[in-house]
């Protein structure tokens, strides 16, 4: 009689190599899963591997010598992750309707892609260039040149091995050498700094497998990488960056109409690719100093609603990463614009539930902000608006005191959540926002200055350029506004300049301009606190600062 195999769960698609070899369910904890820890085994996760080869060499590969190889279609047609079917909001009666939070997609498309907006979204410098330098670039295969004199006849094939399959598959796509260089630059460099903490299961690196199958995402990845390379030593020209951004936007525009039709797994993959491309376009704006964030935000919200990812958690790994990035953008936008996030009733991630720091991908690893602190920030933005509008002041103050007590309790009861400087930075940033925007304490308050100084010390303790500090732009900009002495302000300028140079985030220059205006306002001398705060609100309302 054959031996009966036992299993304690379904086989994991994204689990560690040890669990997959033993056909057991992996919890996917990083850096070591619980199953491996219990068995004292070394826990290793697979990584996507990039290999380069000539087109003719692919045809000579056989199953006996290499993984299965196929040339990717224009979009995925087979499932890679458990499906989460799109939900029609009109049929959902157990949650608050999202009607009115965003406009219809056809209107959005017209707003995003009319010519003047298109030029502004490429880059401030490119917007003043002749229209012919970037227009009419709609398809990678149509152009005989890519801006650097490289012919399409000089194609090579890029292969990304996806280890999530039982038999790893090499997904291939033809790119010219310059595009392939940009794609590799994204995979090896940019994907390391998009999350706060790089790890073997980094979804931004795993995204390359989806990008090779989806032109709308592939073109955006190449555009982002080219802009990043341009900001770092001129590794790419501004003309090439503008051309590739125009192609990415054209590809996105062409993908919008088909995305509204269809159903099933292939439709989910298409829509995920489009939404990832839209969110990466916000990163492109950060690299080029662009400020047109709102159309991208509204469009991403629309597609997440269409996927059903706002009402319930996605089942897939990349779907969860997509929602996490959107949540951080939503909260950062609410803080900078002094507006509301999506309501808790409309977005499952803002409601109390599972600790997303224990589910892969970890929210804390991806954003640097522990999940519980993110929920604190959501509540603070809501209370801040009520304080600003001076509505229900007594009830608002009671909620604020209760929230502050919860924050202190969280710090005492969950010391493991503060095992790194970045987590503490976000914790104290939440306190600073509570003090300044809800309690409305003045910048000269001893408590405000204590909190500000605490954030400065924690940022100073971080090693520049080592990944986690790529997530301190938001805390630095919030705390930096409260700097009162010349020494503190010089430190903020130096730190912001260093971060901008290291990560190429040009929009931080707008934030520093705003900070200088705020400092001038603080130094003007005010006898009326209400007039002072009103002046600050007016300055912020005129700013387009957005970086996180």
Give the DSSP per-residue string, 69-124.
EEE--SS--S-SS-------GGG--SS---TTSS--HHHHHHHHHSHHHHHHHH-T
CB-based contacts of 417, cutoff 8 Å, min separation 6: 357, 364, 370, 372, 410, 423
For residues 113 and 240, membership in a common domain is answered with yes
Is 120 part of a structural domain of the chain?
yes
C-alpha span between 177 and 367 (Å, rounded): 33
Is 83 part of a structural domain of the chain?
no
Dihedral through CA 303, CA 306, CA 311, CA 317, nearest 10? -60
In contact, 96 and 310? CB cutoff 8 Å: no
For residues 288 and 383, membership in a common domain is answered with no
Q: How far is CA 235 from CA 126, 140, 182, 185, 280, in A?
A: 17, 20, 10, 11, 20
In this structure, the chain runs to a length of: 548
- Please tell me the total count of domains within the chain: 3
Is 57 part of a structural domain of the chain?
no
Strands 49-53 and 156-162: antiparallel
C-alpha span between 92 and 193 (Å, rounded): 38
Choose among 162, 184, 92: nearest CA to 318: 162
State which of 335, 367, 399 marks the end of a domain.
367
Q: How far is CA 106 from CA 11, 256, 300, 509, in A?
A: 41, 9, 14, 33
Buried b or exposed e, range 44-78, using 16+ CB within 10 angstroms: ebbebebeebeeeebeeeeeeebeebeebeebbee
Strands 49-53 and 68-71: unpaired
C-alpha span between 349 and 377 (Å, rounded): 13
Asked whether the whole model's pTM tops 0.75, one would answer no
* Per-residue model confidence (pLDDT) at position 264: 60
* Per-residue model confidence (pLDDT) at position 14: 63
For residues 328 and 448, membership in a common domain is answered with no
C-alpha span between 402 and 420 (Å, rounded): 26
For residues 23 and 142, membership in a common domain is answered with no
For residues 470 and 524, membership in a common domain is answered with yes
Neighbouring C-beta atoms of residue 138, cutoff 10 Å = 16
* Per-residue model confidence (pLDDT) at position 523: 85
Q: How far is CA 179 from CA 39, 100, 136, 545, in A?
A: 44, 40, 18, 31
> How would DSSP label each residue in 479-506?
HHTT--SHHHHHHHHHHHHHHHHHH--T
**Is residue 257 classed as helix, strand or coil in its secondary structure?**
helix
Query: Alpha-carbon torsion 327, 329, 334, 336, what sign?
Result: positive
* Per-residue model confidence (pLDDT) at position 330: 93
Mean per-residue pLDDT pooled into runs of 10, the chain (548 residues): 42 68 75 77 66 44 34 33 32 37 38 34 33 27 37 48 45 72 87 82 83 87 91 82 89 73 69 89 86 85 89 85 91 90 87 65 85 93 83 82 94 80 94 94 93 95 80 92 94 91 84 89 76 81 75
* Per-residue model confidence (pLDDT) at position 475: 94
Helix (H) or strand (E) holding 160: strand 156-162
For residues 335 and 384, membership in a common domain is answered with no
C-alpha span between 407 and 392 (Å, rounded): 22
State which of 325, 347, 367 marks the end of a domain.
367
8: containing domain: 1-45
* Per-residue model confidence (pLDDT) at position 479: 95
* Per-residue model confidence (pLDDT) at position 56: 45
Q: How far is CA 307 from CA 255, 262, 273, 310, 423, in A?
A: 16, 12, 12, 8, 31
For residues 275 and 247, membership in a common domain is answered with yes
Is 119 part of a structural domain of the chain?
yes
For residues 247 and 354, membership in a common domain is answered with yes
Choose among 196, 197, 195, 248: nearest CA to 225: 248
End-to-end CA gap in the chain: 60
Provide long-range contacts, Cβ within 8 A and 24+ apart, for 193-196: 193/467, 193/470, 193/503, 194/283, 194/470, 195/361, 195/365, 195/366, 195/367, 195/467, 196/364, 196/365, 196/366, 196/367, 196/368, 196/369, 196/422, 196/467, 196/468, 196/470, 196/471
For residues 132 and 210, membership in a common domain is answered with yes
Q: CATH code at 16?
A: 4.10.240.10
Is 291 part of a structural domain of the chain?
yes
C-alpha span between 502 and 443 (Å, rounded): 30
Is 218 part of a structural domain of the chain?
yes
For residues 12 and 40, membership in a common domain is answered with yes
Buried b or exposed e, range 421-456, using 16+ CB within 10 angstroms: bbbbbbbbbbbbbbbbbbbebebebeebbebbebbb
**CA atoms lying within 13 Å on the CB side of residue 455:** 30
State which of 337, 367, 397 marks the end of a domain.
367
In contact, 293 and 285? CB cutoff 8 Å: yes
CB-based contacts of 426, cutoff 8 Å, min separation 6: 368, 369, 370, 373, 377, 475
For residues 391 and 446, membership in a common domain is answered with yes
Dihedral through CA 535, CA 540, CA 542, CA 545, nearest 10? 160
- Residue 130 φ/ψ, nearest 5 degrees: -55, 140
**Is residue 1 classed as helix, strand or coil in its secondary structure?**
coil
For residues 5 and 137, membership in a common domain is answered with no
């Amino acid at each position: 009689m054959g031996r009966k195999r036992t299993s304690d769960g379904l086989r994991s698609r994204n689990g560690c190599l040890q669990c997959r070899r033993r056909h057991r369910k992996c919890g996917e904890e990083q850096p070591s899963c619980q199953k491996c820890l219990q068995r004292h085994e070394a826990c290793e996760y697979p990584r996507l591997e990039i290999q380069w080869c000539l087109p003719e060499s692919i045809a000579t590969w056989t199953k006996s010598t290499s993984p299965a190889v196929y040339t990717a279609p224009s979009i995925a047609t087979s499932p890679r992750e458990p499906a989460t079917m799109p939900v029609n909001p009109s049929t959902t009666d157990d949650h608050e309707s999202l009607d009115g939070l965003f406009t219809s997609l056809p209107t959005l498309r017209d707003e995003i892609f009319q010519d003047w907006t298109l030029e502004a979204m490429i880059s401030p410098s490119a917007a003043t260039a002749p229209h012919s330098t970037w227009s009419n670039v709609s398809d990678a295969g149509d152009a005989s040149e890519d801006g650097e004199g490289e012919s399409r006849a000089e194609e090579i094939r890029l292969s990304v091995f996806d280890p999530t399959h039982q038999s790893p598959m090499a997904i291939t796509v033809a790119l010219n050498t310059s595009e392939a260089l940009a794609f590799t630059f994204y995979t090896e460099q940019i994907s390391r700094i998009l999350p706060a903490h790089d790890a073997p299961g980094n979804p931004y690196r795993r995204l390359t497998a989806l990008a090779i199958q989806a032109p709308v995402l592939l073109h955006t990845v190449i555009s982002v990488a080219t802009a990043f390379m341009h900001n770092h030593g001129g590794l790419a020209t501004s003309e090439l960056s503008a051309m590739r951004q125009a192609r990415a936007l054209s590809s996105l525009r062409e993908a919008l109409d088909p995305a509204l039709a269809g159903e099933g797994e292939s439709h989910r993959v298409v829509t995920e690719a489009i939404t990832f491309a839209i969110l990466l376009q916000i990163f492109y704006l950060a690299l080029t100093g662009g400020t047109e964030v709102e159309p991208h935000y509204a469009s991403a919200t629309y597609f997440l609603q269409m996927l059903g990812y706002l009402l319930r958690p996605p089942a897939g790994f990349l779907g969860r990463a997509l929602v996490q990035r959107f949540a951080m953008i939503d909260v950062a936008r609410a803080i900078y614009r002094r507006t509301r996030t999506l309501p808790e009733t409309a977005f499952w991630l803002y409601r109390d539930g599972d600790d997303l720091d224990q589910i892969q991908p970890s929210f804390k690893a991806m954003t640097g902000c522990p999940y519980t602190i993110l929920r604190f920030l959501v509540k603070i933005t809501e209370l801040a608006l009520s304080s600003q509008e001076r509505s229900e002041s007594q009830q608002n103050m009671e909620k604020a005191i209760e929230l502050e007590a919860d924050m202190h309790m969280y710090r005492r009861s969950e010391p493991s959540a503060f095992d790194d400087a970045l987590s503490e930075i976000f914790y104290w940033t939440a306190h600073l926002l509570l003090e300044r925007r809800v309690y409305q304490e003045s910048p000269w308050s001893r408590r405000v200055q204590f909190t500000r100084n605490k954030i400065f010390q924690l940022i100073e303790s971080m090693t520049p350029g080592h990944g986690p500090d790529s997530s301190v732009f938001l805390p630095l900009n919030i705390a930096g506004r409260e700097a009162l002495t010349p020494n503190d302000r010089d430190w903020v300028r130096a730190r912001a300049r260093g971060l901008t140079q290291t990560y190429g985030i040009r929009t931080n220059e707008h934030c520093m301009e705003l900070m200088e205006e705020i400092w001038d306002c603080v130094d003007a001398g005010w006898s009326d606190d209400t007039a002072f705060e009103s002046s600050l609100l007016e300055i912020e309302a005129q700013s387009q600062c957005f970086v996180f």
